[in-house]
Amino acid sequence: MSTEQAEKNVELQKDLFQPAEKQALQSDTISRPSLNFWQDAWLRLKGNKGAIVGLILILLLSFMAIFGPSMNKYTYKEQNIAHAKLPPKIPALANIEWLPFDGKDKDGFDMYKAKNVKEAYWFGTDELGRDLWTRAWYGTRISIYIGLLAAIIDFFIGIAYGGISGFYGGRVDNIMQRVIEILMGIPHLIVVILFILVFEPGIFSITMAMVITGWVNMARIVRGQFLKLKGQEFVLASRTLGASGNRLIWKHLMPNVMGPIIVTTMFTIPSAIFTEAFLSFIGLGIRPPEASLGSLVNDGFKSLQVYPHMLIIPSVIISLLILSFNLLADGLRDALDPKMRK
Amino acid sequence: MAKFVFKRLIYMVITLLIIATLTFFLMKLLPGSPLKNQEKLSPAQQEIILDKYGLNDPLPVQYVHYMANLFKGDLGLSFQYDNRPVSTMIGERIGPSAYLGFQAVVFGTIVGIILGLLAAIRQNSLLDYAATTVAVLGISIPSFVFAGLLQYYFAVKYPIFPVAAWEGFEYTVLPTIALSVFVIATVARYMRSELLEVLSSDYIMLARAKGISSFDIMVKHALRNALIPIITLLGPLAVNIMTGSLVIENIFGIPGIGQQFVRSIMTNDFTVIMGVTLFYSVLFIVVVFIVDILYGVIDPRIRLSGGKK
Amino acid sequence: MERLLDVQNLHVSFDTHAGEVKAVRGVDFHLRKGETLAIVGESGSGKSVTTKALMRLIPNPPGRIKEGKMLFEGKDLVKISEKEMEKLRGKEISMIFQDPMTSLNPTMTVGKQIMEPLLKHQKMKKEAARKRAIELLALVGLPNPEARMKQYPHQFSGGQRQRVVIAIALACNPKILIADEPTTALDVTIQAQILELMKELQKKIETSIIFITHDLGVVANVADRVAVMYGGQIVETGTVDEIFYDPRHPYTWGLLSSMPSLDTEEGIALQAIPGTPPDLLNPPKGDAFALRSSYAMKIDFEQEPPVYQVSPTHFVKSWLLHPDAPAVEPPVNVRQTQRTMPQNFDKPVLVGGGR
């Protein structure tokens, strides 16, 4: 800095050197509104494009699962052999060249004209002439049911088991942990398959099989969190103030475990949906005439070479469904518990 | 360390015993009779056969007998395939399954590590986003769907590879890719986050402060520490490869254990189902055991303290 | 004495989603051979960023050195290539970090980690490097060094690990050793040991030390000169005596009044500095400390203060030294120990304008 400039600085008005009025400590006033944990998490989630895409997809697919099957006059099991194996046709989109909804097969041959069919099957039909639109959304409905079921099981059995084990600790925990360790050692799918063999394949056996195996991971996470939190000062403080066990669990432990619980649940859903689709695919899940996305994909393989739509449509739906839940789960994990990234 | 290995070993044995017991009682609960062509046999003949196989003994005796047989590697006889021993059937089919599974794990792990590495080095670049997208698609698209799409596009529509069969390397390409997608995605995701964590750690900063070049830091410090936890993925991946093989082998016509398993499900061939189930369980448990030990051997923190936690 | 290191007008910024965080805003300081300079300030004052910038260890993105010079033996560290910088790091300038628990690679033996800079910079053969590493471990006071070479970091206690980190930093006899709060994470008794060790080693290998701390007690113990940082700027520098016995900046007063000492008379309370450090995303206009200062004048909210020189070694960045400023009394805790320094000029001399 040159002296000239320094000189200039000296020629400052004298009144500037009066003591400033005592101002309120501006640095202490909080300019941003205070956010609680959930508001903060929601803000972070909103900023995650993947999670928002996932959420929108889930809403869209759920809407279709609920209302899709009743959007046309066909039912999921109604057969019409005369209309078997029709390619998809949506009249409104039929004139768009690159979309496969013109009712023509892969050689460009209009099957609807050939078979003299007046109705339009939006997703085409299968080899028994059942409407694939209705069946696909019906299958989505089952997938979502299974996903929700898994979440509920996680919630009730997993949290209870893990909570009890972690909260009481000691011998109770020891025994409960041994049980979990052994359950972890058994491949889940194997248990599910065995279970389904003993009962009849169908939605009930899948449900039961998941009740038996689905909660182990959640139990481990809840237990770990409980054990960790139990030793922390705020819980000890509450204990010394005479808080009851109930109060400790519901007021202190649970709110702090909710983050990991929600994240774990969100990851359970897509894996449950996959398990159901997988079982149905190998013939152990939903049996015809009911439809599951897995069995639809399996049906699709039979006519892969001639009617690829029968494979591609349910494939895309199941993939989107699992993808959307994974995206949302990823986003939730980042928003709720950054430490769980892995 | 010895204590740690011993403890894991005990758990392994207990788990196996429980699975075997579970399998035995489930067999007993199963509907139907183990006799083939039941309707053609007279009640007296049936009795003779049941006696011969010890099926008229009281349950505890049968249980002991069953466990003893298991111990000898005898998994019983198939209902469908002319009473062939299940163990022989598994033995004959293990080759293609093992080959495919191994190829998929190796290919998937290598590609996954490279993908995760690139994503971590170029964090928040286009490459990173691409790798992350591939990874989330990879864990989301079910293997049977992916296999179907591969088969349709690369064998039917553009016949680059054969549709199905087991006659040489080109027949393994599509099934290997289909099986390894999940492996690639899982390893890449894990590798990326693990490497990012390591790279932002204090000891990497100290290594830089020592004047070590970026390349040496990556090779000598970061990669090693990021790769060690990848070993823990091998257990879940083994399970995934096993379940994946059930559908992939069917789709691509590979004469492996998975194909046999699904066929047996279709034909209610219970002894085979149980045999394969047990076989898979043992495989899984052994993999988990090896992974645990391996992790202990490689990570000095665990090696020296003699156990996790 | 010659200046080993001369930092001029250093600006370091981080580009975040919210905007540019100006962590260091025009810092000037120098370091002479063999001396210890302490940089003091609360967390977020930019002291760690300044030294990481010296080592060019600021992760980029998001961080970058915006302008300024860092002259080390005539070479500008801002301008040299990464390759040249690698040659300096660990050899000419080395660094000790705050947390010894995390600053060693957990899967590499301690021996290897000490040998690394020797192999890289001194081009030693493996056997020679091993011998030297054992010497170093003995030098930093670890018993049984040969056996410890083969051990992993988790087999060392916190204090022992910090000794290892010091051994690594000293491996190539660096000209400058930067210690970034090296004792903060340690127990008080271990702190004293580590400080003693550093002082002793400094004598042996004649290195200059830049010591970053927020603990004035440590400063009094180790430093020759002190630079007080606030809001990304150096607000006062001087010799230890000048800073402790003749402080001029209200922030330094605040720091001193909040520190307990044996000299503090009974009945005099320790004074906390009210408020929190400024948000460097939008640095305040004028004097960054004005908001928290009870000595603030109107001009403090309008113009950045210039630097005044009080003695050959004592510089203060505050409007309070302007001839027109009213005479103010420092807080009572400071007044108690205040002395007139013999080298002081008759009145402060303006040496630099506000920016």
Q: Looking at the structure, tell me whether residues C200 and C252 fall in a common domain.
A: no
Task: Spell out the SS3 assignment of chain B.
Answer: CHHHHHHHHHHHHHHHHHHHHHHHHHHHHCCCCCCCCHHHCCHHHHHHHHHHCCCCCCHHHHHHHHHHHHHCCCCCECCCCCCCEHHHHHHHHHHHHHHHHHHHHHHHHHHHHHHHHHHHHCCCCHHHHHHHHHHHHHHHCCHHHHHHHHHHHHHHHCCCCCCCCCCCHHHHHHHHHHHHHHHHHHHHHHHHHHHHHHHCCHHHHHHHHCCCCHHHHHHHHHHHHHHHHHHHHHHHHHHHHHHHHHHHHHHCCCCCHHHHHHHHHHCCCHHHHHHHHHHHHHHHHHHHHHHHHHHHHHCHHHHHHCCCC
Nearest-5° Cα angle at B146, B145 to B151 = 100
**pLDDT attached to residue B309:** 33
Asked if C86 reaches chain B (Cβ–Cβ under 8 Å), the answer is: yes
**pLDDT attached to residue B33:** 55
Helices (H) and strands (E) in chain C, counts: 11, 13
Q: Looking at the structure, tell me whether residues C193 and C252 fall in a common domain.
A: no
Residue A141 lies in a domain: yes
For the cut 70, the answer to whether the pLDDT of residue A274 exceeds it is yes
- Chain A residues bordering chain C (beta-carbon distance below 8 Å): 1, 5-6, 8-10, 12, 14-20, 22-23, 25-28
3-class DSSP state for residue C189?
helix
Distance CA B137, CA A320 (A): 9
Asked if B148 reaches chain A (Cβ–Cβ under 8 Å), the answer is: yes
Per-residue pLDDT tens digits for A196-229: 777 777 777 777 777 777 788 888 888 888 888 8
Task: Spell out the SS3 assignment of C120-132.
Answer: HHCCCCHHHHHHH
Of C159, C191, C223, the position where a domain reaches its end is: C223
pLDDT band at B108 (very low <50, low <70, confident <90, very high): very high
Q: Looking at the structure, tell me whether residues C264 and C132 fall in a common domain.
A: no
How far from each other are the two terminal CA atoms of chain B, in whole angstroms? 13
The superfamily in CATH containing domain B94-302 is MetI-like (1.10.3720.10)
Q: Looking at the structure, tell me whether residues C191 and C281 fall in a common domain.
A: no
Please state, rounded to an integer, the average pLDDT across all residues of chain A.
75
Pair C219, C226: CB distance under 8 Å: yes
Q: What are phi and psi of C282, to 5 degrees?
A: -130, 80
Q: What are phi and psi of A29, to 5 degrees?
A: -70, 140
Contacts of A319 in chain B (CB under 8 A): 137, 140-142, 145
Q: Which partners does chain A have (≥3 C-beta pairs < 8 Å)?
A: B, C
For the cut 60, the answer to whether the pLDDT of residue A22 exceeds it is no
Q: Which of A182, A198, A284 is the closest to B30 by Cβ?
A: A198
CATH number at residue C108: 3.40.50.300
Type of residue found at C307:
V
Count of structural domains within chain C:
2
Q: Which of A6, A18, A27 is the closest to C297 by Cβ?
A: A18
Calculate how close chain C gets to B204, using CA atoms only, in Å: 8
Distance CA A155, CA A230 (A): 20
The residue assigned the tokens 């399998």 is B23
The residue assigned the tokens 């639109």 is A133
B215 contacts: CB under 8 Å, gap ≥ 6: none
Per-residue pLDDT tens digits for C135-189: 888 888 888 888 888 898 888 888 888 889 988 888 888 889 998 888 877 778 8
Would you tell me which residues 223-282 of chain C have a C-beta closer than 8 angstroms to some C-beta of chain B? none
pLDDT band at B112 (very low <50, low <70, confident <90, very high): very high
Per-residue pLDDT tens digits for B238-283: 888 888 888 888 888 888 888 888 888 777 777 788 888 888 888 8
| Residue A69, preceding peptide bond in cis (omega within 30° of 0) | no
Name the residue of chain C whose CA is nearest to B223's CA: C107
Distance CA B145, CA B247 (A): 10
Asked if B277 reaches chain A (Cβ–Cβ under 8 Å), the answer is: yes
Distance CA B115, CA B192 (A): 8
Type of residue found at C223:
A
Contact B210 C168 (CB under 8 A): yes
Per-residue pLDDT tens digits for A185-198: 777 777 777 777 77
Contacts of B208 in chain C (CB under 8 A): 55, 57, 89
Residue A320 lies in a domain: yes
Contacts of C87 in chain B (CB under 8 A): 211
Q: Looking at the structure, tell me whether residues C68 and C187 fall in a common domain.
A: yes
Contacts of B203 in chain C (CB under 8 A): 102-106
Which residues are C253's β-sheet partners?
none
Type of residue found at C216:
L
Residue C229 lies in a domain: no
Please state, rounded to an integer, the average pLDDT across all residues of chain C.
84
pLDDT band at A341 (very low <50, low <70, confident <90, very high): very low
**pLDDT attached to residue A115:** 66
Nearest to C295 by CA among C263, C271, C262: C271
A328 contacts: CB under 8 Å, gap ≥ 6: A51, A54, A55, A58, A266
For the cut 60, the answer to whether the pLDDT of residue A178 exceeds it is yes
Q: Which of B26, B136, B250 is the closest to A194 by Cβ?
A: B26
Per-residue pLDDT tens digits for A244-264: 777 877 777 777 788 888 888
Pair B183, B233: CB distance under 8 Å: no
Name the residue of chain B whose CA is nearest to C180's CA: B206
Residue A248 lies in a domain: yes
For the cut 50, the answer to whether the pLDDT of residue B295 exceeds it is yes
Distance CA A243, CA C147 (A): 52
Type of residue found at A274:
F
Q: For strand C63-72 and strand C3-16, is the pairing parallel, antiparallel, or unpaired?
A: antiparallel
Distance CA C135, CA C172 (A): 12
Name the residue of chain A whose CA is nearest to C325's CA: A17
Q: What are the structural domain ranges in chain B?
A: 94-302
Q: Give just the sign of the alpha carbon dihedral C187, C192, C196, C202.
A: positive
Which residues are C25's β-sheet partners?
C11
**pLDDT attached to residue A3:** 46
Residue C57 lies in a domain: yes
Q: Which of C279, C294, C297 is the closest to A16 by Cβ?
A: C297
Q: Looking at the structure, tell me whether residues C336 and C278 fall in a common domain.
A: yes
Contacts of A22 in chain C (CB under 8 A): 294
**pLDDT attached to residue C154:** 87
Residue A94 lies in a domain: no
The fraction of chain A above a pLDDT of 90, given in percent, is: 0
Per-residue pLDDT tens digits for C295-352: 777 777 878 888 888 888 889 888 888 887 777 888 777 777 788 888 888 888 888 7
**pLDDT attached to residue A27:** 47
Q: Supply the ipTM of this predicted assembly.
A: 0.82
The residue assigned the tokens 């994909």 is A297
Tokens of residue C108, six digits: 């590499």
**Residue C29 lies in domain:** 3-223
Return the half-sphere exposure (C-beta side, CA atoms, 13 A cut-off) of residue C112.
Answer: 13
| Residue C106, preceding peptide bond in cis (omega within 30° of 0) | no
If you count residue pairs, one on A and one on C, with CB atoms under 8 Å apart, how many are there?
69
Calculate how close chain A gets to B274, using CA atoms only, in Å: 8
Q: Looking at the structure, tell me whether residues C258 and C140 fall in a common domain.
A: no
Distance CA B28, CA B270 (A): 11
Q: For strand C208-213 and strand C176-180, is the pairing parallel, antiparallel, or unpaired?
A: parallel
CATH number at residue A254: 1.10.3720.10
Contact C319 A17 (CB under 8 A): yes
Q: Looking at the structure, tell me whether residues C155 and C275 fall in a common domain.
A: no
Contact B15 A182 (CB under 8 A): yes
Pair A279, A297: CB distance under 8 Å: no
Residue C228 lies in a domain: no
For residues B213-228, average pLDDT: 87
pLDDT band at A2 (very low <50, low <70, confident <90, very high): very low
Contact A20 C322 (CB under 8 A): no
Calculate how close chain C gets to A230, using CA atoms only, in Å: 25
**Residue A321 lies in domain:** 134-340
Q: Looking at the structure, tell me whether residues C128 and C163 fall in a common domain.
A: yes
Count of structural domains within chain A:
1
Residue A127 lies in a domain: no
For residue C15, the surrounding DSSP H or E stretch is strand C3-16
Contacts of A43 in chain C (CB under 8 A): none
Per-residue pLDDT tens digits for A94-123: 666 666 666 666 666 666 666 666 666 667
The residue that leads in pLDDT, B58 or A62, is A62
Contacts of A24 in chain C (CB under 8 A): none
Distance CA C89, CA B212 (A): 8
| Residue A288, preceding peptide bond in cis (omega within 30° of 0) | no
For the cut 50, the answer to whether the pLDDT of residue A4 exceeds it is no
Burial of A300 (0-12, 13-18, 19+ CB in 10 A): buried
The fraction of chain B above a pLDDT of 90, given in percent, is: 6
Q: What are phi and psi of B233, to 5 degrees?
A: -75, -20
